[in-house]
Amino acid sequence: MALYARRIGTPLGEMALALDESDALIALEFCNSRSAADAVASVAERDEAVTWDDTRGGAVVAQLDEYFRGRNPRGENIAALFGDLEPIRPEYRDRDARLAVMDAQGIDGCFMFPTLGVGMEEALADDPEAAVAAFHAFNRWLEDDWGYAYKGRIFGAPMIPLVDVDAAVAELDVVLAKDARIVCIKSGPAVTRDGRVSPGDPRFDPFWARVDEAGVTVGIHSGDAGYNRYVDDWEQVGAFRAFAYSPLRIVLSGSRAPYETMAALVCQGVFDRFPRVRVASIEAGADWVPDLLKKLKKVHGQSPMGFSSDPVATFREHVWVAPFYEDDLAELKDLIGLDHLLFGSDWPHAEGLAEPRAFADDLRRNGFDEDEIRVVMRDNGRVLTERLR
């Protein structure tokens, strides 16, 4: 299975209501192979793909592979590392062409998440009506062009903004009626007419109740969670700029949104009130998981009366995590369990893996056996395509 794409892709603010074939998607996949060696990961997609120009050991690798493993020996800036853009390929725009590529890669199915969409709630924070309209239009385009469950292999993830809970439930009903298997919400507090509100707040119970009833998976994809306003207290850099680099900003903001979002869902009792809810953390890595579970354990020990159940056990039951390939995969398996660990390559992004199967090598280096590799790279993703009965 492939369940993450590392980067949002193109600059935000260009989607608005012009939702045509140039809109970017990020795809997350699982494989159909019988052998663990052929199990495959996520395919990421945007409206401009990046070429690969580095070769090691006879295998083509992504230009940013070393960078994301914490190594940049030549000291190149991020724009240089990304390299040149390539022409758009048919499989980036056409679902049948994509299926042909998936066949060649040994991929059985994929989830496709919005790229620009995970930033548009923040871009439309001052206009909730426009946000509701924009995402409704996006979801219609997504269903038309890619499908919510096309041939049982491509699972488009409609974006549900929580700016208005009634509108969110109505939109959820629309996409469920068209067989959506996974829906996407942004990380961080929801932007509402009354200000920013935790997605775990009881006001959103009608949304979570409908998710619980339908048995559909909720993906929380990294994006613009509105956290720049916090980092601006330390360093003001102004509006978003592609390839702008600030070490402080990266250190302060990298894992805060997934940590706090999952903490809110657990501590505010969403999974206790709605025990069938399943949440997958997408493109947020896993380095935040150890600290969160350590804190949950301590707080539970200090104030058990504040919880309806053990929060660490709750997290392990209800949350799936898609790590980056450079994360400590063995530690993550020990923390959340093998069956909640998702796999992704971020193909064809430059920061991903040129050959999705290469993620299996990282699993092997972390001590996973072949049966465990099959579970991570195929079985866990397949489970999330199925609605709970």
Could you give the CA distance from residue 123 to residue 371 in angstroms, rounded to a whole number?
44
CB under 8 Å to 338, separation ≥6 — which residues?
Answer: 372, 375, 376
Per the DSSP assignment, residues forming a β-bridge with 321 are 281, 341
Alpha-carbon distance of 8 to 221, in angstroms, equals 9
The per-residue pLDDT for range 62-112, each reduced to its tens digit, is: 457 777 777 778 888 777 777 777 788 999 899 999 999 889 888 888 888
- Cis, peptide link before residue 311, omega less than 30° from 0: no
* Pair of tokens at residue 205: 């119970």
pLDDT single digits (tens) 319-365: 999 999 899 999 999 999 999 999 877 766 666 677 777 888 899 99
Band (pLDDT 50/70/90 cuts) for residue 116 is: confident
Q: Residue 27 in 3-state DSSP?
A: strand
**pLDDT band, very low/low/confident/very high, at 61 (cuts 50, 70, 90):** very low
The tokens of 40 are what?
Answer: 């495959």
| Bridge partners (DSSP) listed for residue 44 | 26
pLDDT value of position 350: 66
CA angle 156, 184, 253 (to 5 degrees): 130
143-196 pLDDT tens trace: 999 999 999 999 999 999 999 999 999 999 999 999 999 999 999 999 998 899
- Structure letter (DSSP) for residue 185: E
Cα distance between residue 303 and residue 228, in whole Å: 32
Are 286 and 335 within 8 A, CB to CB? no
pLDDT for residue 32 is more than 80: no
The CATH classification number of 25-384 equals 3.20.20.140
